[in-house]
Structure 1
């Protein structure tokens, strides 16, 4: 369901960012992406997060930190070069790519 922009989307992102940063045992940069990141834009009530890591191959070995937060690890989930996690309790999609991946600059096509 599409809904009007909600100010709490940014707060929800910041909360998830803090949780992920504290729990993930590797280096990761996190960015709020997608329609909920654009103030004033109508969107689905789902927070999309882009994670950028130095070595994508390390993510699978460190997934336990994210699963402890309620994320489900879905591996590439149809997009080669990505590691994907989703969370249902607070609808969140976490897309992790390796630094330098062309899709980062293209808005996660």
Structure 2
């Protein structure tokens, strides 16, 4: 069973992103338009589950599937859209996850949503602290119940996302 663990920000997360981004660039080549570090590990000072979220943006989402075998060779489990139309999602590390890959095609509204959320937390310390403290509390309250952890932070995450999208200029 997977334990929900939230820890203090680690400087190594940025390096882990860069190392994995290089691997993805080698696999997908010029299909990648951009690649972003997203999620809580991309926000300096934010408490987070130690899982690196990476968002490559590609020219054509349908070209991603042909790389599933190579992604498996470097430890990723391809999950298809995994509940979000137009996305390709990969997990690395099994029950001890280390990385999540969220691939979108240029123009997807999901790109702006992820970047706005990240950048808002990077520039709004009160929101960052409130979000981190809530995640830490929920991880302690529900150490083996990821669904309750996710549901517990949903309302605040949606409120931050709403404010972030109003604030964000891309």
TM-score, scaled relative to structure 2: 0.60
CA distances 1:26-74 after superposition (whole Å, capped 9, x unpaired): 5212110011000011100000000100110111112222222111111
Deviation at 1:25, TM superposition (A): 4.5
Q: How many residue pairs are counted as aligned between the two chains?
A: 109
Task: Check if 1:39 corresponds to 2:49.
Answer: no
The answer for the alignment partner of 2:102 in structure 1 is 95
Query: Which stretches in structure 1 are left out of the alignment for 5+ residues?
Result: none
Q: Which structure has the greater CA radius of gyration?
A: 2
Instruction: Tell me if structure 2 keeps the 8 A contact 1:24–1:66.
Output: no
Secondary structure of the 2:107 match is coil
Deviation at 1:13, TM superposition (A): 0.3
Q: 2:10 aligns with which of 6, 31, 34?
A: 6
Q: Distance in 1 between matches of 2:15 and 2:25?
A: 15
TM-score, scaled relative to structure 1: 0.91
Q: 1:17 aligns with which of 2, 17, 21?
A: 21
RMSD of aligned residue pairs (Cα, Å): 1.7
Using the TM superposition, name which of 46-55 and 17-26 deviates more. Answer: 17-26
Q: Where does 1:18-97 land on structure 2 (aligned, <5 Å)?
A: 18-28=22-32, 29-88=34-93, 91-97=98-104
Runs of 4+ with >6 A deviation: none
Distance change >3 Å, CA 90–CA 20, structure 1 → 2: farther
